[in-house]
Structure 1
Amino acid sequence: MNITKRFIYILSIGILLLGLSFIWHNALTIFIIYDVICCALLIIDYVISEKDTDFQITRTGEETLSIYEEENISFEIYNLSSRRLNFQIIDEVPEFHFKAENPIIKKEVAPHQKEIVSYILVPTKRGAFTFKNVYVKFTGKLGLCSKMFKVDLSREYKIYPNIKNLRKYRLSICNNRAFRNGQRSLKTLGRGTAFESLREYVPGDEYRKINWKATARENKPIINQYEPEKNQHVYMFIDTGRSMSYTVRGYRKLDLAVNTALVMSDVVNQGGDKSGLLIFNTGVKNMIMPGKGAGHRNKMLEALYHIDYTNETSNYDEAFYHFKRKERHRSIVFMLTDFETTEEAEEMLKVLPAVSKNSIVVIIFIKNDKLEEMAARRAKNGEEVFNKGTALEMLQDRKRIISFLNRKGVFCIECEAEKVEFTAVNKYLEIKNKNYI
């Protein structure tokens, strides 16, 4: 039980009586009696006010949330009493991995009515988290006390990769000119080897695509339209080693990789291909063979939502040869990884042919903004000169590795944190349109 401002104001009147004790000898007695009456009224208010059986509260809404997105945590509160109640609701949010905006919910609920209330929460880590107790508070009938109850509303929320961002990409693929090769369900006509349809010739079309039988039949030039092969295998390799544990512009590299894999899986399936997944660090932690459809998408989502980084150096040898043993088709492999040292990159380069020999490999790095900032900063003392020189050397090594990989026929791209998904999708569409497979 907590006392209200009204009770404090009423109790303060007794202080005036106490002040009169200097000129009126009965004032002290009256002050004591007054305080006793106030305390008695406080107890009465507590006793006659509603109990925990006079309301019901339940959690509502989705159990799946998206990382780094504003999500509504909702409750349904049912006022079973005959009095209008002003509720205050506070949820017991797990520490460290959530940012709550205005977590105290205030709502007036009429007698025998239900209301839906909510507060905004931003998850900052993927995984499963249990939200336990909810504290419900309302003012007593006399307005002298407020009663608080702890209600056990344990519920597990699963924090998934950015599912909302997936919906945004479905729209942007159709509308953004940067994805012009992917208009209308990612259909890329004009290149490829699979026959798609016939249409009338227009100036600028290639003569070799003229269908002479159809031209003779229609008595006008008709050409064949082609599209890339369907059901190709497109893999996302996700490195969960130490190099992916760092934060870039407020986002952990691994979270960016996971979101990109989910977006790519959806885009690949829309394009008629099959998406696969391989998660590795010191060994292969999970491998999902290529597939499509709602069931496959849920399988990918379940594999991605709870993975976490390690503090160990990743073993590319184990990952690549495991893939080679399992996958017999020529595939497109998007690898989301990074290097801390040149030695790590050289170790990867030694075993990369195990994959790149029979598949197209795209390696995507995320730019180290702190390293670039250090390299661009004007040095003012000896320590800053050393740090700048180290940063410049590391950036130069990185450029050398990227250039070497590109010369070896591996698509190696370095992009900003905000453009990882965009870069991966655009590269996939480019590969499909130019028929590299």
Structure 2
Amino acid sequence: MHLAITKRFIFLMGSGIIITIIGYFFGFALSAFIFCNIICFALLVIDYIISPSPDALEIERIGNEKLSLFQEENITISIYNKSPKDIFVEIIDEIPDFHFDADKKPVGKYIQPHRKEIFEYRVIPKKRGAFTFGKVHVRYEGPLKLCKKQFKEDLSKEYKVYPNLKDLRKHKLGAYNSIIHKDGRKEMKLLGRGTEFESLREYVYGDEYRKINWKATARENRPIINQYEPEKNQHVYAMIDAGRPMSYSIRGHSKLDIAINTGLLLCDIVNQNGDQSGLVTFSTEVHGFIPPGKGSVHRNSLMEALYHIEHTKSTSNYEEVFFFFKGKERRRSLICLFTDFDTIEEAEDMMKVLPSISKNNIVIIVLIKDENLEKLAKTPIKKEEDAYIKAVAIEMLHDRKKAISMLNTKGIMCIECEPEKIASDVINKYIYVKNRMHF
């Protein structure tokens, strides 16, 4: 425990100096100086003695240990005053360096005798992962407000920063019935295109003859057809690349963070639609695999698998992850592969091994539009260096469009999404595949 003096004590000492100066003119300066110092320090000692000990304060961390990336979150600490006196308490928490934006000012409150007060301050996590908040620095005044006692309480606790859960909730509200249009309109579920019987209805012009239910037709004496809906419990995977191209930032967010948020939302929508969602994360090797499932326990498993995933500076090994997936999943599935590539050569390398999973599964490759590259391609030329940068950007964009065209030509669905529209684009594509294609 440490002792600090307050502004009130400094003011009291200043008053003593004034008295000493006055005493100088009347010939008792030394006596005045000694008397004032004795009074000041006696009061300081009394204030220290009568102020509660640190044991009078019970301190603990409370509140949610799950934080959302780039969202303002509250860190909460409770303090119970066991003493019979009012205490003004200030606290400063030890926040992990570099990974949180926070106001470093002390948080102060009066705590009445035998009462508990909640101290809160806000942080904005800038990185996913697990971070330990350490000691809490506590400072409180004595009853005379001349001294402050200071001590540190070790309240080490791990907080986990997850993908943006608040954004996920917002998108889920927008994705009512799991279907979103880019312009916000809701699309009705397409019946009659699946394989599971849903209901009977009267035949209308344009219906397929093979769907006529002849027994119902004879009974009702009018044409009746079977109406079908897409199958339930189909397997849908979010396959997330954590390699070098996913490390680039767009509007302050890495492509990997955008892909993780979208992958989690897709899994939620898939489960809401009665299907089972799975997860694969990889870069130079497979980092994680969550088999298809649904329910709250399954969702927690997805969250735990994704909150600590870091991007690498290496090119991902598609051959290894595709071979791994073939060994794990025997059922025909829909795979949403969140990845990216910088050059046409990288795309061609992926296409060489892609048939190993695209032959028996439906694959959707999801790319995030590189706005920085497009901006460079449109930059006005003011000097020779600008011309070189613009030419490189235009060539890279050309290679990118060529790679997307090659994938689509080979029957692989490849969509390039703007960051703010990636959620709706991916969910719409899932709904499209579910309603129109059997998998």
Global fold match (TM > 0.5): yes
Structure 2 residue corresponding to 1:134, chosen from 131, 136, 141 = 136
SS, match of residue 420 in structure 2:
helix
1:376 aligns with 2:392: no
**Paired residue type of 1:432:** K
Q: How does 1:20-99 map to 2 (within 5 A)?
A: 20=22, 23-99=25-101
Tell me if structure 1 keeps the 8 A contact 2:342–2:396.
no
SS, match of residue 141 in structure 1:
coil
Q: How far apart, CA to CA, are the structure 2 residues paired with 1:27 and 1:362?
A: 90
Match of 2:330 in 1: 328
Q: How far apart, CA to CA, are the structure 2 residues paired with 1:68 and 1:16?
A: 54
**Paired residue type of 1:411:** M
Residues 103, 259 of structure 1: alpha-carbon distance in 2 compared, 3 angstrom cutoff: farther
Deviation of 1:197 (Å): 2.0
SS, match of residue 236 in structure 1:
strand
Q: How far apart, CA to CA, are the structure 2 residues paired with 1:240 and 1:264?
A: 18
Point out where structure 2 has 5 or more consecutive residues left out of the alignment: none
Match of 2:299 in 1: 297
Q: How far apart, CA to CA, are the structure 2 residues paired with 1:63 and 1:217?
A: 62
**Paired residue type of 2:319:** D
Q: How many residues align?
A: 433
Tell me if structure 1 keeps the 8 A contact 2:180–2:428.
no
Match of 1:433 in 2: 435
Q: Can you list the C-alpha shifts for 1:192-244, whole angstroms capped at 9, x where unaligned? A: 2211123456x777364554533443466654332111121111111111111
More deviation, 420-429/87-96: 420-429
Match of 2:283 in 1: 281
Tell me if structure 1 keeps the 8 A contact 2:344–2:402.
no
Q: How far apart, CA to CA, are the structure 1 residues paired with 2:103 and 2:437?
A: 49
SS, match of residue 272 in structure 1:
coil
1:408 aligns with 2:404: no
Q: How does 1:362-401 map to 2 (within 5 A)?
A: 362-401=364-403
Q: How does 1:13-412 map to 2 (within 5 A)?
A: 13-20=15-22, 23-101=25-103, 104-174=106-176, 178=181, 188-199=190-201, 206=207, 208=209, 209=211, 211-218=213-220, 222-412=224-414
**Paired residue type of 1:206:** D
Tell me if structure 2 keeps the 8 A contact 1:174–1:182.
no
CA RMSD, Structure 1 to Structure 2 (Å):
2.3
SS, match of residue 345 in structure 1:
helix
Tell me if structure 2 keeps the 8 A contact 1:6–1:143.
yes
**Paired residue type of 2:135:** N
**Paired residue type of 1:276:** G
**Paired residue type of 2:387:** V
Q: How far apart, CA to CA, are the structure 2 residues paired with 1:316 and 1:271?
A: 29
Residues 58, 182 of structure 1: alpha-carbon distance in 2 compared, 3 angstrom cutoff: farther
Q: How far apart, CA to CA, are the structure 1 residues paired with 2:342 and 2:180?
A: 35
More deviation, 171-180/77-86: 171-180
SS, match of residue 69 in structure 1:
coil
Deviation of 1:108 (Å): 2.0
**Paired residue type of 2:158:** E
Percent of pairs with identical residues: 54
**Paired residue type of 1:296:** H
Point out where structure 1 has 5 or more consecutive residues left out of the alignment: none
Tell me if structure 2 keeps the 8 A contact 1:264–1:424.
yes
Tell me if structure 2 keeps the 8 A contact 1:6–1:144.
yes
Tell me if structure 2 keeps the 8 A contact 1:173–1:182.
no
Deviation of 1:298 (Å): 2.0
Tell me if structure 1 keeps the 8 A contact 2:342–2:400.
no
SS, match of residue 93 in structure 1:
coil
Q: How far apart, CA to CA, are the structure 1 residues paired with 2:187 and 2:51?
A: 64
Residues 276, 37 of structure 1: alpha-carbon distance in 2 compared, 3 angstrom cutoff: same
Q: How far apart, CA to CA, are the structure 2 residues paired with 1:369 and 1:148?
A: 51
Q: How far apart, CA to CA, are the structure 2 residues paired with 1:35 and 1:350?
A: 87
Q: How far apart, CA to CA, are the structure 1 residues paired with 2:272 and 2:362?
A: 20
Residues 436, 404 of structure 1: alpha-carbon distance in 2 compared, 3 angstrom cutoff: farther
Q: Can you list the C-alpha shifts for 1:360-396, whole angstroms capped at 9, x where unaligned? A: 1111111222211111111110011111111111111
Deviation of 1:164 (Å): 2.6
Residues 220, 149 of structure 1: alpha-carbon distance in 2 compared, 3 angstrom cutoff: farther
Q: How far apart, CA to CA, are the structure 2 residues paired with 1:150 and 1:4?
A: 19
SS, match of residue 87 in structure 1:
strand
Q: How far apart, CA to CA, are the structure 2 residues paired with 1:225 and 1:43?
A: 88
Q: How far apart, CA to CA, are the structure 1 residues paired with 2:206 and 2:186?
A: 17
